[in-house]
Structure 1
Amino acid sequence: MSDWLISLEGTEAGHQLALILAVSAAFLHAVFGALQKGRHDPWLTRGAIDFSYALMAAPFALFVVPWPEPYMWPIFFGAFVIHVAYKVLQAFAYTKGSYTVVYPVVRGTGPLFAVIGAYLIFDETFSLVQWLGVGVLLAGIFGLAVYNLIFLQAERATLPAALMLALLTGVFVALYTTYDAYGIRATADPFTFLAWFFLIDGLVMPPIAVLKYRKMAYPPALPPLMLRGFIGGLVAFASFGSIMLATRLDKVGEAAVLRETSTVFAALIGWLVLKETVGPRRIALMALIAVGAVIVELGG
């Protein structure tokens, strides 16, 4: 399968597959965010998810895929540091604000800086039409944030902190998107990068979650928490794996922008599953996000 994927790099078939992977990653990432924000404390959920996907990745990393080239270990270390910072910021943001408040800002900040990073590192350029699409998408995403800031009545005291943490988290989204694209392109076999990335990435949050769990006066029951972690681990493989493969097959900037249609999916999940209020203004802003992503794709 690795040889087949590598053969598609830079081809029209590779572009189409990257498009499918990026949109799939958008939906799955919204599901992933909802799992972290949902029933349990975000720190506990993230710890359970990371433990699950590290455990699932271990046999593939150790016994199935080729071992990483020696020069890949510093790259893995860099990815580890960036993702730990991202996850800590994300967890703090979710403790301060609701899912439909935090998620749009996180995902809205990411694509702008990812496009800039793709230009600086991979020499990718966007057409004027694509930049228009980026502008439309960002207008929708940050419009959601402004709307929440003005009209949201719940969590008013913590809303400014939630938005600032979400903004900073978005910067790290752009950083890991660009860095992971560099990493998965650096190794001969993309599945080697994916297997070892998930194994290494899952080492930090579980101990933090255990410490937090032990300090709780009324800790939640472990079976439902671990079930959520297992489901989240599967979703993480599909979501992060899809976007990483998309950035190897095609342009990093386009994949990053298309993934941010996850904001639309997130709002729908927040409304239908988490029972958060989504009015007509927010629906219109979500439509703007989708239109921006379509413009980026058609303008390429």
Structure 2
Amino acid sequence: MTATVFFAVLLAALLHAGWNAVVKGGSDKLASMAGMSIGHAVPGALAILVLPAPAPEAWPWIAFSVALHFGYQWFLLRSYELGDLSQVYPIARGSAPVIVTLVSVAFLGAALTGQQLLAIGLIAIGILSIGAARAGRAAPQAILAALITGLFIASYSLADGIGARLSDSPVAFFGWVAFLGAFPFALYTRLKRPGLLLQLPKAAPAAFFGGGWASFTAYAIVVWAFTQAPLALVTALRESSIIFAVLIGALVLRERVDLARAASVFLTLCGVVLMRLAR
């Protein structure tokens, strides 16, 4: 992984942690997630207009990705209703790199060095241990929802990685996913709470105007990175966003950071450094 890709994915991780904090920090979780998801439509449409269309081989993956992203959004929203950011986020995000690595090595022919596998392992263990430290106090439903969210994260990451490589235009690929993906969540919002769609600019202005753009930019960087480096490495590095999430949780949302969580963040950081040094 080149330095350009490495630091671009770290920027995406920071943006990703930020928009998750917007959703968790908002008093109306459905409005925040709807604002974020529907807010994708504008940058997605711009990407569609200015970039070359994806290759025909990528379109089945676009459709598959739209479905997987909706599942992820629904379960993430459910997870945040049942648990707090610093508990749910690590469980969901920490499981994804493990699944992506196993599938990449077993079925996609990825060749990873021992150092790279160790780096992925450190990041995953560090992230999971943050959530595990509070798992005993979590509702079982919150843990289950977070684990299912992690499965969706791994699934859409693999689908987007494969689709982006086939598309010849990775940002346009995600532009279509983001644009089309706004419609199923808008329909869900309409059925869940009639009238909310028209109120989104007032009900969730941060998510609607800023979070959608931040989320789109973050994942567009990741989708581009999928075409430049192994999927497992990009996915694991992206999940280092937990470091930023814990900082945001402590400084903005006033969530407590104990010694165990600080040690977990340090372990994750060690994995990030090792990934940068790995050859």
2 CA distance for matches of 1:47 and 1:179? 23
Instruction: Report the identity percentage.
Output: 27
Other-structure match for 1:297: 276
Shift of the alpha carbon at 1:262? 0.8
Other-structure match for 2:235: 256
Shift of the alpha carbon at 1:213? 3.5
Indicate the SS of the match to 1:71: helix
* Contact 1:111 1:256 (C-alpha < 8 Å) held by counterparts: yes
Other-structure match for 1:181: 161
Amino acid at match of 1:285: S
Amino acid at match of 1:200: L
Indicate the SS of the match to 1:92: helix
TM-score, scaled relative to structure 1: 0.85
Amino acid at match of 2:149: T
1 CA distance for matches of 2:200 and 2:16? 26
2 CA distance for matches of 1:142 and 1:72? 33
For structure 2, the 5+ residue unaligned runs are none
* Contact 2:14 2:241 (C-alpha < 8 Å) held by counterparts: yes
2 CA distance for matches of 1:35 and 1:171? 22
1:286 aligns with 2:265: yes
* Contact 1:18 1:247 (C-alpha < 8 Å) held by counterparts: no
Shift of the alpha carbon at 1:222? 4.6
Other-structure match for 2:210: 231
Pick aligned residue for 1:35 from 22, 30, 52: 22
2 CA distance for matches of 1:93 and 1:17? 33
Amino acid at match of 1:143: S
Pick aligned residue for 1:24 from 11, 28, 36: 11
Other-structure match for 1:245: 224
TM-score, scaled relative to structure 2: 0.91
Greater displacement, 39-48 / 282-291: 39-48
Other-structure match for 2:83: 97
Shift of the alpha carbon at 1:129? 2.4
2 CA distance for matches of 1:297 and 1:72? 30
1 CA distance for matches of 2:210 and 2:278? 36
1:194 aligns with 2:174: yes
1:126 aligns with 2:112: yes
Indicate the SS of the match to 1:214: coil
Other-structure match for 2:132: 146
Shift of the alpha carbon at 1:137? 2.3
Other-structure match for 1:171: 151
Amino acid at match of 2:253: L
Residue-by-residue CA offset, 1:91-138 (whole Å, 9 max, x unaligned) = 111110000000011110011111122224542122222222233223
Question: Given the superposition, is the C-alpha separation of residues 215 and 203 from structure 1 closer, same or farther in structure 2, using an over 3 Å criterion?
Answer: closer
Amino acid at match of 1:57: G
Shift of the alpha carbon at 1:209? 2.3
Pick aligned residue for 2:247 from 265, 268, 276: 268
Residue-by-residue CA offset, 1:277-300 (whole Å, 9 max, x unaligned) = 111221111111111222233223
Shift of the alpha carbon at 1:269? 0.6
For structure 1, the 5+ residue unaligned runs are 1-13
1:205 aligns with 2:185: yes
Pick aligned residue for 2:61 from 47, 56, 75: 75
2 CA distance for matches of 1:270 and 1:239? 19
Indicate the SS of the match to 1:183: helix
1 CA distance for matches of 2:10 and 2:43? 24
Question: Given the superposition, is the C-alpha separation of residues 275 and 220 from structure 1 closer, same or farther in structure 2, using an over 3 Å criterion?
Answer: farther
